[in-house]
Structure 1
């Protein structure tokens, strides 16, 4: 049954074989500095900032409609022998024009008001995104610390189960303990060790979540060599 399961896993992973067991993590995550304002690397925060800057530029463009437009032109003409003396004569002209609509039916004011409203909306959206990001950082840090505490508790449980198993093994060797009780102690130890590995995996997941909350890649991302989808 196990060989059949491995064969199916290999087929799903497009591998010729699937014989190696998955190696559980052995190292512990390291807590890094995560102040609440460390959110500048998050894509959603950067996008909100870009939208606010674009809205601010739109307000400036709307204000520019109240100022006149200036135009300049230059022309130069050379006349050959038409000045009465037979010599060449050159004429040039420079013109500067200014254009300012005196009445637009309220169009400029409407455009300016709309641009200001969009800028305020972008500012509110930016602040909402930042507040949400800060809350995610605080929550992720709390989850990280909780996962760390669970792992430490699992370590203590393994140590206690190992001591109980040692005592029960000695008692069984002396004939003072039944085989059933010894098996129960060993099963408890196996469960404790399994929970230790699971708690370490959860701790690493919490570490990844904390890194994502501050806009960083997971710690093991640089070591990944598989396909990127």
Structure 2
């Protein structure tokens, strides 16, 4: 008893004083003061910015909010939070005392007649019952379980950030697919408009042929353009249906479920506002993949302490109380108890424990390199998206002027052809130029919208919209 009174306060002092392994230090990255094509001004927290509303498309807004809670990738990431929370409990439980109870009842007997020297009847039976209570507590002198819980908590934080990573991927995929669907609808409308124009040219050519001013070759060339336009329609229809099917999958419903609601066309999405990208340092705060990488670095750093703690002795306090009774004996009850510490000291293990420390340090270094790579990739994504957005905006503006010029050229070519001052080839060339310019403009508008999506995703925009607070998710 004197030993217990002396050992217990000493164990408390040791428990509070020693944690092996390196303490986590936030990593640093050398980043430029600003992006190459923006001002050196920090932006606000963009993780709650609904940037897709800049398209001013109500149908797109409805689809985005519908899928935030139904996207299967996001739901899988949310489910991984539950597993990470359980791992925190498991890691912390090792440092707490454990208590167990057991009970056993037994009836034994024998029957039969055979030669024996003992006297009495041929049937005997014994009854006994026993119960016990045991407790143990592994004293965490060197912080093994505290480091384990630190690692598990950091992994839990990474799981929350992974949900936001999945949410960003969903936003990028859904909005881009919607942009594609509307592009294919616009391309279909343009091709049908081109088809109508070319049929009018064919009609005009036939009329001029009947008047003796055009040849059969002119008619065949005009018919060729009509048929060429007809041949382009199926591929565009396929592109629209595939985009609509993919949107349905992203919303967690069967393919073609929402196709009917998208058949009614809408204008191609065009961003109405500019994006404030901030400075590269903002990415460390706003990008969930960077935060997740840092949390995994923290977990790997804590695992070094877990491995180092295995190099040191461990002491476990244990005790038990038991009682048993044999009902065949007059004084058939027995009780026993025990209490005391046990010491485990690693001596010879073939270098396995030191190798575990080395492996843990290597893993932490790998996680640091992963974090650094994630930061640099994020900066590159912003730079690329911003550059593309600026220049594709210039392309759209130039193509609008091209379309206007070619449309005027087509009108003049037709008037000239009616008056006999030009050939059908002039009209057909003008029609080809108009059709090509219109489709190029539609394609450029699609690319501009996709650049806008890529830029906002690259800065972490909207990553936390619809996120479940940690305090709620842990319930």
TM-score normalized with structure 2 length: 0.33
Structure-2 residue corresponding to 1:84: none
SS at match of 1:27: coil
Q: Are 1:122 and 2:361 counterparts?
A: no
Structure-2 residue corresponding to 1:31: 274
CA contact (8 A) 1:42 1:213 kept: no
CA contact (8 A) 2:406 2:434 kept: yes
1:177 and 1:162 mapped to 2: Cα distance? Answer: 19
CA contact (8 A) 2:270 2:448 kept: no
Aligned residues: 200
Structure-2 residue corresponding to 1:158: 403
1:130 deviates by 2.1
Structure-1 residue corresponding to 2:298: 53
Pairing 1:193-208 to 2, within 5 Å after superposition: 193-208=438-453
Q: In 2 relative to 1, CA 98–155 (structure 1 residues): closer, same or farther, beyond 3 Å?
A: same
Structure-1 residue corresponding to 2:174: none
Q: In 2 relative to 1, CA 93–204 (structure 1 residues): closer, same or farther, beyond 3 Å?
A: same
SS at match of 1:70: strand
Pairing 1:1-229 to 2, within 5 Å after superposition: 2=230, 5=234, 23=266, 25=268, 27-28=270-271, 30-34=273-277, 35-37=279-281, 38=283, 40-41=286-287, 43=289, 45=290, 48-75=293-320, 94-102=339-347, 104-161=349-406, 168=412, 188-215=433-460
Q: In 2 relative to 1, CA 95–153 (structure 1 residues): closer, same or farther, beyond 3 Å?
A: same
1:184 and 1:104 mapped to 2: Cα distance? Answer: 84
SS at match of 2:311: coil
TM-score normalized with structure 1 length: 0.61
1:188 deviates by 4.6
Q: How large is the RMSD of aligned CA atoms in angstroms?
A: 4.7
CA contact (8 A) 1:29 1:203 kept: no
Unaligned runs of 5+ in 2: 1-226, 246-254, 324-334, 463-475
1:24 deviates by 5.0
Structure-1 residue corresponding to 2:58: none
Q: In 2 relative to 1, CA 155–93 (structure 1 residues): closer, same or farther, beyond 3 Å?
A: same
Unaligned runs of 5+ in 1: 79-89, 218-229
CA contact (8 A) 1:165 1:185 kept: yes
CA contact (8 A) 2:313 2:343 kept: yes
Cα-to-partner distance string for 1:139-173 (whole Å, 9 max, x where unaligned): 1211111111111111233344566678x49x86x
SS at match of 2:317: strand
Q: In 2 relative to 1, CA 97–36 (structure 1 residues): closer, same or farther, beyond 3 Å?
A: same
SS at match of 2:315: strand
Cα-to-partner distance string for 1:102-123 (whole Å, 9 max, x where unaligned): 5545433222122112211221
